[in-house]
């Protein structure tokens, strides 16, 4: 279970990136985190990952504080803009992750992931030599290496070629089947529709929807047909309300 209680983060005094965020993801749930640019999605994920210090609030993962070793062993994070170590090769990144998590027999899984994402021929390239798409592939492979219980993906499809996009979607499907918990932030709404059993919709740092896609459709009724239509209706309504 992943739980956020009254989580607030600001970067400037009085300007909140996220404010009083509350939600819970049960084990095995897949949540789609969506919202306009600047809504606070990446900040939320970075806070959960322990990369940003909270102003206030509490985050727990499987009952452990999110910054604890016990929590970090259970999670994986694919950032929106991966920044590999410039002087490590792609394969050395996998070795580094394996050592960090204490995985002894890591090579078969790493080989499998590199095969899936067509990184075998690029395994000896340094981080600084990798293209954006290759960096994304290495980040994804590294995240799935230690068989985490909770996976956060921040715009995981950006910069990938069609085959890699298909492999990411296949991985998500496999992890769902295996009962893993996933939090996926993306602007590609058909990906959210395909995988998410919970929607978290953000606007200006606040959560404006936290329920299932079915509940969202039931609220808006037959006049709004697609998730895209609902998204624009809901986020525009929230923006209009804020201006009143």
Ordered mean pLDDT values, 10 residues apiece, the chain (244 residues): 96 88 96 94 97 97 96 95 95 96 95 97 97 96 96 94 96 95 93 92 93 84 72 69 46
Per the structure block, which two tokens stand in for 16? 């909140």
**Phi, psi torsion values for 50, nearest 5 degrees:** 85, 15
Nearest Cα to Cα of residue 123 among 145, 141, 97: 141
Tokens 């992943």 locate to 2
- pLDDT score of 237: 60
67 Cβ neighbours under 8 A, 6+ residues apart: 50
- pLDDT score of 167: 96
Fill in the DSSP letter of residue 39.
Answer: S
Nearest Cα to Cα of residue 117 among 77, 160, 159: 160
Whole-Å CA distances, 19 to 29, 204, 221, 239:
24, 9, 30, 16
State the CB neighbour count (10 A cutoff) for residue 93. 23
All domains in the chain, ordered by first residue: 2-243 (3.40.50.300)
97 Cβ neighbours under 8 A, 6+ residues apart: 103, 142, 145, 146
- pLDDT score of 217: 80
Bridge partner residues of 60 (DSSP)? 3, 65
Residues 142, 119: Cα–Cα separation, whole Å = 12
Residues 37, 47: Cα–Cα separation, whole Å = 17
- pLDDT score of 99: 95
165 Cβ neighbours under 8 A, 6+ residues apart: 157
- pLDDT score of 244: 39
């Amino acid at each position: 279970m992943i739980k956020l209680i009254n989580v607030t983060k600001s970067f400037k005094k009085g300007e909140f990136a996220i404010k009083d965020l509350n939600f819970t993801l049960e084990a095995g749930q897949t949540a789609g985190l969506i919202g306009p640019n600047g809504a606070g999605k990446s900040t939320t994920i970075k806070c959960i990952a322990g990369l940003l210090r909270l102003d206030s609030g509490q985050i727990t993962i499987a009952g452990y504080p999110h910054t604890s070793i016990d929590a970090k062993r259970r999670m994986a994070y694919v950032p929106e803009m991966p920044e590999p170590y410039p002087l490590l090769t792609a394969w050395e990144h996998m070795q580094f992750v394996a050592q960090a998590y204490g995985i002894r027999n890591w090579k078969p899984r790493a080989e499998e992931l590199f095969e899936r994402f067509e990184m075998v021929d690029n395994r000896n390239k340094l981080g600084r030599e990798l293209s954006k798409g290759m960096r994304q592939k290495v980040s994804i492979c590294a995240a799935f290496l230690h068989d985490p219980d909770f996976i956060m993906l921040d715009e995981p499809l950006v910069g990938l070629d069609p085959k890699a996009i298909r492999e990411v979607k296949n991985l998500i499907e496999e992890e769902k089947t295996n009962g893993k918990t996933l939090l996926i932030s993306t602007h590609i709404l058909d990906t959210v529709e395909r995988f998410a059993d919970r929607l978290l919709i953000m606007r200006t740092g606040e959560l404006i929807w936290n329920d299932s896609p079915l509940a969202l459709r039931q609220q808006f009724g037959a006049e709004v047909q697609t998730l895209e239509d609902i998204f624009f209706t809901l986020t525009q309504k929230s923006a209009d309300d804020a201006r009143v």
